[in-house]
Structure formats: structure tokens, C-alpha cells
Amino acid sequence: MKSHATLRYTSMRTSIFGAVFVVALVLAHFRILPVTAGASGVFLLLLLAGIISAPLSYVVLSRQRDAMSEQITSGIERRQSRPKSMKSRFAAQAAEEDAIDDALRADQSV
């Protein structure tokens, strides 16, 4: 299992989005993409970058996505197994406390 797989996948996906956005911005600057100036043009470029980078990330980052999925699954399995051990520790501590209480009651009644 690789550590920080989620961080690696997220940063790589963000980088792909950023690279596609910069390419779209350059194409719009040279008027290859017909985009209006202003906030609506930037929003359109962001939308275009999202639409293009999503399938690109899906294809290019399949190994990183699998590693992230494995890391998340193992973390969930580890957390699901933890409460059982905590329950057994809690039960053991409760039994110890009960034994101490019983011993103190026995001493007080004598």
C-alpha cells in the first residue's frame, strides 16, 4: 500500500485541470477559442477545462485511482476492526472495576 495515495491522486488531477485551463486560456488569448473577455469568458474556460480534464484524468490516472481506492478501503477495514478490540478492552476494564467494587463491598460488610 502506498502512503498518501489520496493526496497524490488529488494533486495530479488538479495539475491536469490546471494544465488544461492554461492551454484553454492561451488558445483564447490568441483567439483560437472564441471566448468573450471578462468573468463569463473565464467561467466558460473553467467549464471547458473541467469537461476536458475529467475524462483525461480518468484515463491517465487509473493506477493512482486504484492505489487511492486501496488505501481508503484498508483504512475503512482497519477502523471497522478497531471497535471490536476497543469493546473487548472496555469489557476487560469493566470486569476489573466490578471485581474491585465487589472486593470493596466484601471488605465493608465484614
Q: What is the DSSP letter of 68?
A: H
Per the CB < 8 A criterion, the answer to whether 13 and 57 are in contact is: yes
In tens, the pLDDT along 6-16 reads 999 999 999 99
Q: Per the structure, how many domains does the chain have?
A: 1
Whether residue 106 is contained in a domain is answered as no
Whether residue 91 is contained in a domain is answered as no
Whether residue 104 is contained in a domain is answered as no
Angle between helix axes 62-109 and 5-29 (nearest 10 degrees) is 140
In tens, the pLDDT along 44-99 reads 999 999 999 999 999 999 999 999 999 999 988 887 776 666 677 788 888 899 88
Assessment of whether the complete model's pTM goes beyond 0.85: no
Whether residue 96 is contained in a domain is answered as no
Whether residue 110 is contained in a domain is answered as no
Q: Which domain holds residue 15?
A: 5-80
Whether residue 28 is contained in a domain is answered as yes
